Amino acid sequence: MPFRTSRPLRFGDCDPSGIAYFPSYLNIFVGVLEEFFGDAGVPWKELIATRRIGTPTVRLDLTFVHPGFHGDTLDFELFVRRVGRSSLDLEHKVSSAGTLLWSARHSVVATSLDTHKSLAWPDDLRAALESRLETSDA
């Protein structure tokens, strides 16, 4: 099952015409990723402050299909497609009222916040990520 959550598209997320401003999508997107890790059992505060593990984006391929408008509810679906030694491949689908607005292929890597080098996912986090692995197309 994908991770699902929703966010409102607020006035400040839109350009003067009321259409979503794409950099705002990315800010909302980061919040969804933070929520996903918390749902997986490792809140970002713990990951960053206690474990000193970062999850920088190394690849992000966005495809915009339909505009979003001020007042829309954005429905996010996050699919775990692959868990590597230190990498994580995700797919995101963002819709509103059943209409796909945009999708993304996204890769992050686990890094030490002290050395800024990649590191293997800790066993507990790897297990949580692998338990969400989605092998078929949604």
51-103 pLDDT, tens digit each:
999 999 999 999 999 999 999 999 999 999 999 999 999 999 999 999 999 99
**Residues sharing a CB contact under 8 Å with residue 84, sequence separation 6 or more, in sequence order:** none
Q: What is the CATH number of the domain that holds 97?
A: 3.10.129.10
Q: How far apart are CA 5 and CA 1, in angstroms?
A: 13
5-25 pLDDT, tens digit each:
999 999 999 999 999 999 999
Model pLDDT, residue 1: 87
In a domain, 52, yes or no: yes
**Do β-strands 57-64 and 53-54 pair in parallel, antiparallel, or remain unpaired?**
unpaired
Number of domains, the chain: 1
In a domain, 135, yes or no: no
Local confidence band at 134 (pLDDT 50, 70, 90 cut-offs): confident
In a domain, 22, yes or no: yes
In a domain, 110, yes or no: yes
**Three-state secondary structure call for residue 76:** strand
In a domain, 101, yes or no: yes
In a domain, 136, yes or no: no
In a domain, 104, yes or no: yes
DSSP type of residue 13: G
By residue range, what is the domain housing residue 54?
3-130
In a domain, 137, yes or no: no
